[in-house]
Amino acid sequence: MESLAMSFADYAGRRVLLTGHTGFKGGWLALWLERLGATVCGLALPPDTNPSLFDALRLGETVESNLADIRDVEAVKRVMTDTAPEIVFHLAAQPLVRHSYIAPIETLATNVMGTAHVLEAARNCPSVRAIVVVTTDKCYENRGWDSGYRESDRLGGHDPYSVSKACAELVASAWRSSYWQADDAPLLATARAGNVIGGGDWAADRLVPDVVRAIGSGQIVLVRNPAAIRPWQHVLEPLAGYLMLGARLLAGDRSFADAWNFGPALGDMQSVSALCEVLCKRLGGEWRHDEGEHPHEAAVLRLDSSHAMLKLGWAPRWTLVQALELTADWYARASRGEDARALTLEQVSAYEAACGVQQ
């Protein structure tokens, strides 16, 4: 508990560059970093959904927002130099599996070369002391195991998205080994999170926003793979892991410059149908199996986060049922006109309390 409180406190007065701040996870992290007293500088494309969490949280008023494409290496270098961050959280990505089938080159250019551009810009920025590169649970070669994948398991992927994230892991490892081995060099870690849920996600082809949209328009929710099992977790769970990891890197502890899984407890990983049941009951809708043809998606994906639990002191604080209730509550209250920024800060505060962090 103490280490978590210390990790959160360590961001007060820090300059942070957050790529992907206009996205779903980036929006939550930007607001949380603000709450912790950091000066947040963002680098991302404009929001690609309407509505967007970036606009709902009014982050344009509080974040030093730089709208640029991480595929543009000169733009990334310019923003890195101008913002002079102490720590970089790299979340910007093409994040959708199904879109990667439609746009594989865009996906690879963004997720692989974009990561290289961010790391190369950081390498040439003297202020940078720590970097956390966020990839995904899908970076592992999926063998259909019921046991959870560990950080030492083989990387790979069936689809362009998964392959791009496995490659991003390799790029990060190469930069760490090639350029950042000196005692005074910046420290780099990668974070592989499970499937996140939470209020303010309006992306296409993601389960929760698809459910919310369908119910809001009075339609039946169509579900592609109801039996599929994923490591679902509230968005604040992995973000807490990123913050704890970043604080250890800023403290100069080289043993944390590694790969880390952040997912729910192995016994709390549920099927798509289980999520749909809870959400539809809470929001007043119904779902059915869409039996049409769809691109390949893994049937089972579990993460083993014991490394983060034992060494970093991170652990899930909310069960899946709690995460779903909080997510449904966010959307229901926002739809009634409540302020999204206040709603989000309320849940951040509740999460901190669940962690034993005094307000």
How far is it, in rounded angstroms, from Cα 241 to Cα 202?
23
More confident call, 222 vs 251 = 251
Distances (CA, A) of 141 to 113, 144, 161: 21, 9, 12
Q: Collect all residues with Cβ–Cβ distance below 8 Å to 212 and sequence separation of at least 6.
A: 279, 283, 331
Q: What is the pLDDT of residue 140?
A: 96
Say if residue 75's pLDDT is above 50.
Answer: yes
Q: What is the pLDDT of residue 225?
A: 83
Amino acid occupying residue 51 = P
Q: What is the pLDDT of residue 291?
A: 78
Q: What is the pLDDT of residue 22?
A: 98
Strands, E assignment, the chain: 15-19, 39-44, 64-67, 87-90, 130-134, 187-193, 195-197, 221-223, 229-230, 232-234, 259-262, 270-271, 287-289
42 close to 65: Cβ distance less than 8 angstroms: yes
Q: What is the pLDDT of residue 304?
A: 95
Residue 92 dihedral angles phi and psi, to the nearest 5°: -60, 135
Q: What is the pLDDT of residue 357?
A: 84
How far is it, in rounded angstroms, from Cα 115 to Cα 98?
21
Domains of the chain, CATH where assigned:
2-199+233-265+302-318 (3.40.50.720)
What confidence tens digit (pLDDT) does each residue in 40-67 have? 999 999 999 999 999 999 999 999 999 9
199 close to 235: Cβ distance less than 8 angstroms: no
Q: What is the pLDDT of residue 2?
A: 47
The number of beta carbons lying within 10 Å of the beta carbon of residue 150 is 14
Residue 268 pLDDT level (bands cut at 50, 70, 90): confident
Q: How many residues does the chain have?
A: 359
Q: What is the pLDDT of residue 3?
A: 64
User: How much is the average pLDDT of 6-26?
Assistant: 94
Q: What is the pLDDT of residue 359?
A: 60
Q: What is the pLDDT of residue 1?
A: 43
Mean confidence (pLDDT) of the chain:
93
Q: How far apart are the first and last CA of the chain?
A: 13
What confidence tens digit (pLDDT) does each residue in 93-133 have? 999 999 999 999 999 999 999 999 999 999 999 999 999 99
Say if residue 320's pLDDT is above 70.
Answer: yes
The number of beta carbons lying within 10 Å of the beta carbon of residue 340 is 20
User: How much is the average pLDDT of 293-304?
Assistant: 78
User: How much is the average pLDDT of 215-240?
Assistant: 91
- Residue 51: asked if its preceding bond is cis (omega within 30°), the reply is yes
What confidence tens digit (pLDDT) does each residue in 174-183 have? 999 999 999 9
% of the chain with per-residue pLDDT over 90: 78
How far is it, in rounded angstroms, from Cα 275 to Cα 270?
7
Question: In the numeric block, which tokens belong to residue 268?
Answer: 């709390």
